[in-house]
Amino acid sequence: MTEPRAVLWDLDGTLADSREFHWRSWRDTMAAAGFVVTDAQFALSFGQRNDAIIPAWIGDRATPDLVRELGDAKEALYRTLITAEGIAPLPGAAEWVGRLHADGWRQAIASSAPRLNVELMARVLGLADGMDALVGAEDVRVGKPDPEVFLRAAAALGVPPERCIVVEDAAAGIEGACRAGMRSIGVGGIATAEATVNAESLDRLPPDAFDLLIPQQRFRT
């Protein structure tokens, strides 16, 4: 018997390039409500929770009801686009999820996205069978860089933080991993410079990348 090991995956920008779908969904939803959002504003918000994004864009007009209404409409449109047009995993993502699953690693998606988005994306990307848990925005009180999403994912998998590896493309995610006491793999270039290990993309990681960070270890008797 060996000590469990886990990989906690960020979703958007790590397992899939969903930026364009999010941009179109936000642009069209906000325009329908009479608000203009620029690509530059969107770029600064990518990866944050909706309850942080919308008030930053519309200021004192952001009542709780309006924030919820706009967020729900955007996410519904996002899911419609993903379902209609499909989306593929980023290079190396499906291969690593499959390999780690076969090697006995426990895996979870730990995302700032709503749970319905996480569940849909896992299915459409063909990664659902390799995941043992899914953690989304509704499962935490605060988003990254707070470590809560990673700690909840680790708890759901039954793996201690020091036996977990976070894979992220954003600085906030790498900071969250560090604050959770977890090692990390960054695939976001300079944005993830503080990660334990960095690579240009998942398919550029060496075959022993995960095993080197957390070697297999037998239970102590």
Per residue in 208-218, pLDDT (tens digit) is 999 999 998 87
Does residue 191 sit in the same domain as residue 99? yes
Tokens of 199: 């690579």
Q: In this predicted structure, what is the pLDDT of residue 220?
A: 64
Alpha-carbon distances of 81 from 73, 74, 85, 91, rounded to whole Å: 12, 11, 6, 21
CA gap 26, 7 in Å, rounded: 30
Which domain covers residue 198, as residue numbers? 6-17+89-213
Residue 45 pLDDT class (50, 70, 90 cuts):
confident
Looking at residue 7, what DSSP letter applies?
E
Q: Is residue 200 part of a domain?
A: yes
78 assigned to some structural domain: yes
In whole angstroms, give the CA distance from residue 193 to residue 174: 9
Q: Which residues contact 71 (CB under 8 A, 6 or more apart)?
A: 50, 51, 54
Q: What average pLDDT score do residues 31-45 get?
A: 94
**Does 192 lie in the same domain as 103?**
yes
The pLDDT of residue 63 is: 96
Encoded tokens for 178: 């560090």
Q: Which residues pair with 12 in a beta bridge?
A: 16
User: Which CATH number fits the domain that encloses residue 59?
Assistant: 1.10.150
Domain boundary among 51, 67, 85: 85
Residue 74 CA neighbour count, 13 Å, CB half: 27
The pair phi, psi for residue 9, each rounded to 5°, is -95, 130
Whether residue 66 sits in one domain with residue 110: no
CB 135 within 8 A of CB 109: yes
Distance of alpha carbon 140 from alpha carbon 104, whole angstroms:
27
- The predicted model gives 27-41 an average pLDDT of 96
| Nearest CA among 160, 141, 146 for reference residue 214 | 160
Residue 117 placed within a domain: yes
58-97 confidence digits (pLDDT tens): 999 999 999 999 999 999 999 999 999 999 999 999 999 9
Dihedrals phi, psi of 146, to nearest 5 degrees: -60, 140
Query: Are residues 5 and 218 in contact, defined by beta-carbon separation less than 8 angstroms?
Result: no
Both 202 and 125 in a single domain?
Answer: yes
Q: Check residue 85 and give its pLDDT.
A: 97
Task: Please tell me whether residues 165 and 126 are part of one structural domain.
Answer: yes
**How many structural domains is the chain composed of?**
2
Domain boundary among 36, 62, 85: 85
Identity of the residue numbered 94: A
Last residue of a domain, one of 51, 85, 119: 85
Q: 126 and 78: one domain?
A: no
Token pair in block for residue 190: 């300079």
pTM, to two decimals: 0.91
- Does residue 192 lie within any of the structural domains? yes
pLDDT of 221: 55
Task: Supply the mean pLDDT for the chain.
Answer: 95
Are 71 and 110 contained in the same domain? Answer: no
Domain check: are 159 and 202 in the same one? yes
34 with 140, same domain?
Answer: no
